[in-house]
Structure 1
Amino acid sequence: MTATTSSGTPKPASAKKPEDLIDDELMAMLAERAKTGGVSLAGEGGLLAQLTKKLLESALEGEMDAHLGYAKHERGGSPEGNARNGRRAKTVLTEAGPVEIDVPRDRNASFEPQIVRKRQRRLAGVDGIVCSLAAKGLTTGEISAHLAEVYGASVSKETISTITDRVMEGMAEWQNRPLDPVYPVIFIDAIRVKIREGNVANRPIYLALGVTVDGERDILGLWAGEHGDGEGAKFWLRVLTEIKNRGVGDVLMLVCDGLKGLPDAVSATWEQTIVQTCIVHLLRTSFRYASKKDWPQLAKDLKPVYTAPSESAALDRFAEFSDKWEVRYPAIVKLWTDAWAEFVPFLAFDVEIRKVICSTNAIESINARLRRAVNARGHFPNEQAALKCLYMALMSLDPTGKGRARWMIRWKAALNAFDIAFDGRLSVGRI
């Protein structure tokens, strides 16, 4: 019986869902036959492999029909005199394991199949599996072993490296793509990676995360720094100029963790941008100078400083904190004194803005995912390998899109407050 719409007209085939194209009774019959016949579901020669073989060969025959202009066993032949010329066997690696298929040939050797191209030995889904495993930090050897264990397929480390190397082409395009004209906030943070170039050294990889005028997350790029925190205003001016040249004309606030030279570079790039230090990082650094037994009291005494209703009130609370702790922990008092200029800006704004800019929590969740990939690897042979791993980890974030929806809800109130506090500069990005 032909399916119809609510108006009674036949429903087009394109309206069917993918699952509607599968006959449940047929699938149950096949599964029962496999069970009674002693055929496994997965693995080489299993039911999934057999179905994959049949589907691929049927698709290839369909492509040949279209190429020649007539169906198999149909009289008439091709107007150009071309015709089928047997088949050739070929083994391709699929998500169901290695599958041997028969590829049709034509006399003129002009047939160029698209489902399984000439010289193609892996279906696209396999490349996706490789990239997904690499994004989780697995080495080429570990990925090769995984494919052999799960799919019974022999894929060399060189082949896996070739698959993941293609990612770098996409990364170059991603790193240079046009950006939005206005961002209410850009967060900049770093993760440390071990790179084995000569001696193993800790190198920072900086991540810039922008929040769009609609409250969406936009990862702007990755930049490798030098060993030993050698970056200064010149390095940051190059990074920010690159971002500006990609179309970013205005940034309301930039949140970071006391990166040397960054405030000066921000002023040179976007004159009106406010630089805000990350309060959470400031607190963490403070605790490093103190005995663990004093952490609860230090946290309690610092809270009135960063929750003060105004800068003058914060100064009064900080004076009280200094009187109490300077003798025991002068380094903590100096830390807050040196960071004061980048600490106080958010005190001038209402609570909705304070919630989203007083820390780099927005970027920390991403960095947690990146650190898992980095820790799984331990170290990298060079800078490019580290960037490739981090890029693939970024591309695997939020596959369901649920995180995107949460972000937009979380930022809605803050964006309205930004537009008012910054005299409509945010509205320019919505035009």
Structure 2
Amino acid sequence: MSITRGTAALASTRGSAQEGDHRLGVAAASHHGGQNPPSEAVEVPLRELLGDEVLDLLLAGSRDGKGGLRLTGEGSMLGQLVKAVLERGLEAELTAHLGYGKHDQSGNGSGNSRNGKIAKTVQTGVGPVRLAVPRDRAGTFEPVLVPKRAGRVSGGLDDMIISLYAHGMSVRDIQHHLRQIYEVELSHEAISNITDAALEEARAWQSRPLDPIYPVVFLDAIVVKVRDNHVVQAKSAYLAIGIDTDGDKHVLGIWLAKTPLDAAAAGESARFWASVMTDLKNRGVRDIVIACTDGLPGFEDAVHAAFPHTTLQRCVVHLIRNALRPVARRDRTAVAAELKKIYTAPTAEAAFDALADFAASPWGAKYPQAAKVFDNVWDTFIPFFAFSPAVRKLLYTTNSIESLNYQLRKVTKARGHFPGDDAVVKLLWLAIINIEDKRARQRLANRAKEGKRNDQPARLTEGQRTFGWREALNELEIAYPGRIK
């Protein structure tokens, strides 16, 4: 899923055939007013189009007081180039609006004509740019490139703001960054409006239809601080990652519970997980074969209320952590080695025997709670023993969603608290997209380096490809016949 950022690209002008092709890199001959461009545009390097004289003037005008280059900011080299391109595009728009070129005799008696220019300063990705915007005498000209009453040219500036926001910067931090680096002054409301444009896409993503079957779904929650009921409170943001039948992982949604007026926080609860399951069902999910979770009390009933045939798999990593919690630090290595015999046993029966041996051992006598951790959830601990060791690695831990949560926590940690639930969903969704963009670039780089096939998409939908999925799918179909289609 892509993010729609900005409203108008730099070169999207209402040009006509009379004005030719205004894209950079097209031969200068195609810019002659009143002439049609050639059928095949000849690409010319920008340096050749500008020439040494123009480049020398830009270079001389971009020196700062110490002789260094000032590439961004008011009056900088890039600012002057943006100014030239925007003014050229505005002139082309006015020509298309009037229907004749400047100084063209066909405009005599047309009823409308050029009427000078008006000064205007707009904020861009390279700093403030002062423009001379052309006008028409009838006042009917409505520029598209730089709309009336628009204080900025969105282009790269909106992309920059959304990227900074997705990396965890607050609105105030973004204001300071733009002012310090680019000399751009944007109000708190303007930046919020830019990021709010992503909220509409996040809501559409949140309600999108889902696949009817997910062989494996990982469920977890992270805690964020949100202003709710006029008080900053700790709330759980519920997340679900599903592996579809093709082996692609997808974030299925982000959910936040409303804090009751008489409660101090909206902690993770089985009741709200039940509403999450209902939402997944309403969006088209008919069956979840295996749900991996860290084991919230009452969670099994919450899942089975919507998906009665789903098999629950307790996260083994969480069980190990819980079992080692009462163990003294000096004994943890030895106890962990004994516990490993339980979850690495070849079968469920062998695992039960290993648990019995541990409980009867000196370590089990010294730390009986460690054995009880596995014994209390035995039915939801053993499902992964029905598969081969390679497939068990996929099912026995919620590391897939823990990895995502770790990266999301880095983004939310810098924010302190959020003004509302929408702000949480907006930031988490942008962060998920940002994380996937990083993974996509890494996948492309690895393919180029290793010379692997390149016919598979590098960028998936908020997720990544599951390794060894073909073997896992075959074993799941055998273990759950007729469930996966």
Query: Is 1:191 equivalent to 2:222 in the alignment?
Result: yes
In the alignment, the residues of structure 2 paired with residue 116 and residue 285 of structure 1 have an alpha-carbon distance, to the nearest angstrom, of 60
Q: 1:102 to 1:188 in 2, by over 3 A?
A: same
In structure 1, C-alpha distance between the alignment counterparts of 2:46 and 2:197, rounded to whole Å: 38
- Residue 60 of structure 1 corresponds to 90
Q: Is the deviation greater in 371-380 or in 38-47?
A: 38-47
- Structure 1 segments, 4+ long, off by >6 Å, are none
* 1:353-364 pair list within 5 angstroms: 353-364=391-402
Q: Once the 2 structures are TM-superposed, how far is the Cα of residue 123 of structure 1 from its aligned partner?
A: 2.5
Alpha-carbon distance in 1 for matches of 2:108, 2:300 = 71
Matches within 5 A, 1:124-135: 124=154, 125-135=156-166
2:114 aligned residue:
84
Q: How does 1:316-335 map to 2 (within 5 A)?
A: 316-324=353-361, 325-335=363-373
Q: Please, which moves more after superposition, 199-208 or 311-320?
A: 199-208
Deviation at 1:347, TM superposition (A): 0.8
In structure 2, give the amino acid aligned to 1:276: Q
Residues 90/303 of structure 1: CA separation in 2 closer, same or farther (3 Å cut) = same
Q: Secondary structure at the match of 2:146?
A: coil
Partner deviation per Cα, 1:73-131 (whole Å, 9 max, x = no partner): 32313996333222222211111111111222223333232222222222322122222
The residue type paired with residue 330 of structure 2 is: K
Partner of 2:385: 347
Alignment check: 8 A CA contact 1:352 1:417 kept = no
Whether the 8 Å contact between 1:255 and 1:278 is mirrored in structure 2 is yes
Partner of 1:49: 79
Shift of 1:291: 1.9
Q: Residue type matched to 1:318 in 2?
A: L
2:319 is the counterpart of 1:282: yes
Aligned-partner SS, 2:435: coil
Question: Residue 99 of structure 2 corresponds to which residue in structure 1?
Answer: 69
- After TM superposition, list the pairs within 5 Å mapping 1:364-383 onto structure 2: 364-383=402-421
Contact 1:68–1:78 (CA<8 Å) still a contact in 2? no
Q: Deviations over 1:50-88 (max 9, x none)?
A: 111111111222222222222233231399633322222
- How far apart in 2 are the matches of 1:288 and 1:114? 63
Tell me the SS of whatever aligns to 1:191: strand
AA of the residue aligned to 1:417: E
TM-score (norm 2): 0.78
> What residue number does 1:35 align with?
59
Query: Are 2:303 and 1:303 equivalent residues in the alignment?
Result: no
Q: What amino acid does structure 1 have at the position aligned with 2:183? A: G
- Whichever residue aligns with residue 133 of structure 2, its letter is V
Kindly indicate whether the alpha-carbon contact (under 8 Å) linking 1:34 and 1:41 is maintained by their aligned counterparts in 2.
no
- Contact between 1:175 and 1:222, CA under 8 Å: does it hold in 2? yes
Structure 1 unaligned segments of length 5 or more: list them: 4-9
Query: How far apart in 1 are the matches of 2:92 and 2:86?
Result: 10
SS of the equivalent of 1:92 reads strand
Higher helix share: 1
1:23 aligns with 2:54: no
| Deviation string, structure 1 residues 263-302 (Cα, Å, up to 9, x no partner) | 2122222232211111112222223222222222222111
After superposition, give the CA deviation of every residue in 1:154-189 in whole Å (9 maximum; x if it has no partner): 222232223223332222211111111221211111
1:335-377 CA-partner distances (Å, limit 9, x unpaired) = 2222222111111112332121111121122112211111111
Name the CA distance, whole Å, in 2 between partners of 1:37 and 1:101: 17
Q: Distance in 1 between matches of 2:477 and 2:148?
A: 56
Aligned residue type for 1:275? L
**Which is worse superposed, 222-231 or 211-220?**
222-231
Match in the other structure for 2:242? 210
Alpha-carbon shift at residue 398 of structure 1 (Å): 2.1
Select 1:412's aligned residue among 469, 474, 479: 469
Give the aligned partner of residue 135 of structure 2.
105
Q: Is the 8 A contact 2:122 2:129 kept in 1?
A: yes
**Which runs of 5 or more structure 2 residues have no equivalent in the other structure?**
1-25, 28-37, 64-69, 260-264, 444-456
Say if 1:31 and 1:216 are closer, same or farther in 2 by CA, change over 3 A: farther
User: What does residue 310 of structure 2 align with?
Assistant: 273
- Aligned mates of 2:107, 2:198 — CA distance in 1: 44
Q: 1:323 to 1:379 in 2, by over 3 A?
A: farther
Aligned-pair distance for 1:213?
Answer: 1.9
Measure, in 2, the Cα distance between the counterparts of 1:341 and 1:175: 33
How has the CA–CA distance of structure 1 residues 368 and 75 changed in structure 2, closer, same or farther, with 3 Å as cutoff?
A: farther
* 1:138 is the counterpart of 2:161: no
State the AA in 1 paired with 2:473: L
Q: Secondary structure at the residue paired with 2:272?
A: helix
Checking the alignment, whether the CA contact within 8 Å between 2:59 and 2:77 is kept in structure 1 is no
Q: CA RMSD in A?
A: 2.7
How many residues of Structure 1 are paired with residues of Structure 2 in the alignment? 414
Helix, strand or coil for the counterpart of 1:425?
coil
Aligned residue among 174, 191, 206 for 2:205: 174
CA contact (8 A) 1:250 1:273 kept: yes
Residue of structure 2 in register with 1:165 after alignment: 196
> Using the alignment, how far apart are the partners of 2:78 and 2:331 within structure 1?
61
Whole-angstrom distance in 2 between the partners of 1:237 and 1:271: 12
In the TM superposition, residue 242 of structure 1 has moved relative to its aligned partner by: 0.8
Query: Displacement, 1:391?
Result: 2.2
Shift of residue 409 of structure 1? 5.8
Match of 2:276 in 1: 239
Corresponding letter in the other structure for 1:56 = L
In 2, the alpha carbon distance for the partners of 1:43 and 1:132 equals: 20
Cα distance in 1 for partners of 2:109, 2:378 equals 82
